[in-house]
Structure 1
Amino acid sequence: MKHRMKGAVCICLLISILAQSVQAQPLPPVGVAPVAGDPQGIRQGRFIGVVVGTAAFYTVTLLLLRKQWYKKKVPFHSFNDNREWLQMDKIGHAATAYGMSRGGYELMRWSGVNEQASILTGGLLALLFQTTIEVFDGHSEGWGFSKGDMVANVAGTALFMGQQYSAGQQVVSLKYGFRKTIFPPYRPNILGSTTGVQMLKDYNGQQYWLSVNVASVLPVGPSFPRWLNLDFGYSGSGMIGGHANPPVVDKEGKEVKFERYRQFFISPDADLSRIDAFSPSLQRFIGTAQFFKIPAPSLEYNRIKGLRFHPLILPKE
């Protein structure tokens, strides 16, 4: 339940951010640091709306979480889940913190807040939200405060803030992908019974991608496509339990065993926010929306099936 609610909350926040970022301020040219402030200054109406909306979302969400999922409070304690799910949940925490940091930054810039303050605010909002949930976990029976989760939260936030402060752009970004798998029917209460829930709970179906903008890291000529990215992905398969797989049977009552293994991918990608044909406002909106990876051909390696090529979307496993 914890991971399901965390995922749902974070996706709702990202959708809210996307909806409000469409009219954002223009992006600086690639490779050029942005100016210190917005010449038009803070846009009062937008700023008040963002502050009130963010505060309301934060308050209502946490009240609902506390009422629905954190009913029984126990003394604060920690919980070591670093070895669970082949670390997929930790990478998910980093990616979520990155996306929330970027979204918060975009909202601040849309409100007319200067670059430096927007970076700091976006990062702090992401950490505040993620940390509050972890503190709730620390007081909850059956869960606990996860130091691994917090390290991942800080890492994702630092990835966004460090690049935006130093380069004025996101040379490297974190993205999310999903494909259906065969595993949820064996443990629907853990992995989800519907596609929407599986996107949040089935770690076998999730992929996380480190997306690198080629033109920002290699000495390429002026005719090279500035939108071309190269993505490095990670996922896991064969998991129907956190640390190990419990015994399960098929429809005929025969025991089914799954081997757990890691998957590594490489795939081309497009950073659509760098396409000059789009308006500056649309470029900024797209940059935030591209938390979700565009399906593209990929090359996979894992120790069970070796090297595999996938024409477009990863196949169901």
Structure 2
Amino acid sequence: LPDSALVSTNSTADSTPSFNKHKRLAWVTAANVAFYGGSLVALNAAWYKDYPRSSFHTFDDSREWLQVDKVGHAWTAYTTGKYLSAMWEWAGLSRKKAVWAGGLSGAAYLTVIEFLDAYSAEWGFSWSDMGANVFGSALFMGQEILWNEQRIQFKFSFHHTSYKDPGLEQRAGSLFGKPWYERMLKDYNAQTYWFSANLKSFFKNSRIPAWLNISAGYGADGMFGGFKNTWKDKNGAIIERYDIQRKRQFYLAPDIDFTKIKTKSKLLRTTFSLLNAFKCPAPALMIDSKGKLKGYALYF
């Protein structure tokens, strides 16, 4: 993907002499179709093929994982919409049309996945997932419509978690996987999601650095099952770990809006745009649902 496709621009793409609207539009359309089709085929092969099909049915998973998975759905919809919008604008659509195309196509893609769940006996169509998807897309589109910019970025961070208890480490390995990239996707104990507000965007006449953000985060800990900490070991014995508290965690930390760092390099602007999906490691304060307050010199 060319660098400029992920760089938000305030000027129209037609200002570039070499711009060819029809070719770019065809390229982006084809790329979207290929991505959607290919990823759904891969997802079906990796996720659904080993489970029996069923008729359309719903499943209430709104209480699973202390809703961290739902926040993840919203982040995915927001982030997908943001980057697809940038691609459509690069292809020649007006900013307004690009926002609608990107935001709605991101939500549509996740809706297709919900329908795959709906016809799998192992899962089901989740209204809470759908609500989270719509919220994520609406957060992106709403800010563009209201402010013509993303004053509040939706970000993600991850810290690898290991457990001294051999039983818990074994459970985590079987549930979340062992490689770091599997843990990053599946371990809800290790994920934190952030609303990162750019201060300068709200106080235009202040001397606050343009790149400085303040962020509020949400995560959870102590989860070794979707609803409760019970499972069966490899011998079929039921393991109950009610001694482990399942806790919500709320964070406050400074952050950086990389897109506010001025540079003439298209490569750096693209890199900064991609980095903005992730929370910058920084000092943080955390309070959990049990009332415990903790400070971090550097929180990932």
The RMSD of aligned alpha carbons is 2.4
Offset from partner CA, 1:110-133 (integer Å, 9 cap, x none): 222211111011012101210000
Q: Distance in 1 between matches of 2:26 and 2:115?
A: 28
Which of 273, 276, 282 is 1:296 aligned to?
A: 282
Aligned-residue identity in percent = 36
Q: Look up the match of 1:215.
A: 200
Matches within 5 A, 1:60-71: 60-71=38-49
Match of residue 274, structure 1, among 260, 263, 286: 260
**Distance in 2 of aligned mates of 1:25 and 1:291:** 12
Separation in structure 1 between the aligned mates of residue 11 and residue 147 of structure 2, nearest angstrom:
12
How far apart, CA to CA, are the structure 1 residues paired with 2:273 and 2:143? 14
1:97 and 1:157 in contact (8 A); partners too: yes
AA matched with 1:122: G
The letter of the residue matching 2:65 is W
**Out of 28, 41, 46, which is 1:50 matched to?**
28
SS in 1 for 2:154: strand
Partner residue of 1:14? Answer: none
Query: What are the residue-to-residue correspondences of 1:78-89 with 2, within 5 Å?
Result: 78-89=58-69
The 1-side partners of 2:6 and 2:42 are apart by 33
- Secondary structure (helix, strand or coil) at the match of 1:79 reads coil
Q: TM-score, with normalisation over the residues of structure 1? A: 0.82
SS at match of 2:298: coil
Structure 2 unaligned spans of 5+: 234-238
- Work out the CA distance in 1 between the residues paired with 2:298 and 2:101: 37
* Structure 1, gaps ≥5 residues long: 1-19, 29-33
The one-character-per-residue Cα deviations of 1:49-95 (angstroms, maximum 9, x if unpaired) are 22111101111221232344333321000000000000000000000
Which one is further off, 239-248 or 122-131? Answer: 239-248
Matching of residue 228 in structure 1 with residue 208 in structure 2: no
SS of structure 1 residue aligned to 2:4: coil
**C-alpha distance 261-26 of structure 1, shift in aligned 2 (>3 A):** closer
Q: What is the DSSP-based 3-state SS (H/G/I as helix, E as strand, rest coil) of the residue aligned with 1:77?
A: coil
Aligned to 1:119: 99
Matched, 1:194 2:175: no
The 1-side partners of 2:6 and 2:249 are apart by 39
Q: How many residues are aligned here?
A: 285
Per-residue CA deviations over 1:238-284 (Å, capped at 9, x if unaligned) read 000000001689xxxx9853110111100101101112235467435
Does the CA-based 8 Å contact 1:106-1:284 persist in structure 2? no
More displaced, 175-184 or 277-286? 277-286
Q: Which residue of 2 aligns with 1:206?
A: 191
> 1:26: how far off?
6.3
